[in-house]
Amino acid sequence: MKRLISLWAVGILALVVQGALATLLGPPYCPDLALLVVISIGLRWRGLALGLCLAAALGFSADLLSGSLLGQHTLLRLFAFLSAFFAGRQLNLRGPLPLVVFTAVVSLIYSLALAAVSAFFVVSSELAWVDVAGLLQHALVNGILVPWVFSFVARVLVWAGDDDAAARTLDIDARRRLV
């Protein structure tokens, strides 16, 4: 329970910091920190059911704070969590470069899906044109920042008592003799 509450608090903190950064940086250069937290949780979380609940709670919090369609970020954060959860078990995403590439791709797909869902439900001429160059810049910014967010989420998991989060060494008793 401590892990769940602490990671939800980290996600809310990421939303607040993201909102503060949005006033200073332009739209393609402001990172989606809450999405990066969800991806990091997906790569580090062990159980699927509680992870889905956490991703849904963070997505719903983003929906409430952003003023977008209710459920839009929730649905897409669930897909981002699932992609990170299953990709982290099938691919070697331990190094910074694979993590950056994976996050940039997920962020680009997330942005395109966000624009598609908005265009489907909101009839507006503004949503008909998607700035692909801006989406690529945004995905690159998210990819560059993900190693730090991933490291922070891993440290929070270790602090919260996740046994598998820290790489544990094998304890060998050197006093015992093999005969």
pLDDT tens per residue, range 40-51: 999 988 888 988
- What pLDDT score does 166 carry? 44
Q: State yes or no: pLDDT of 171 exceeds 80.
A: no
Tokens standing for residue 158: 């270790």
Mean pLDDT for the stretch of residues 11-20: 91
Confidence tier at 10 by pLDDT (50, 70, 90): very high
Q: Residue 173's pLDDT is what?
A: 56
Q: How many residues does the chain have?
A: 179
Is the CB of residue 117 less than 8 Å from the CB of residue 157?
no
- Report the alpha-carbon distance of residue 24 to residue 50 in Å, rounded: 35
Percent of the chain with pLDDT over 90: 42
The mean per-residue pLDDT over the stretch 14-30 comes to 88
pLDDT at residue 146 tops 90: yes
| 3-state SS, residue 138 | helix
Output the pLDDT for position 178.
57
Residue 174's pLDDT is 54
Q: Is 161 or 101 the better-scoring residue by pLDDT?
A: 101
pLDDT of amino acid 126: 54
Query: For the whole model, what pTM was predicted?
Result: 0.83
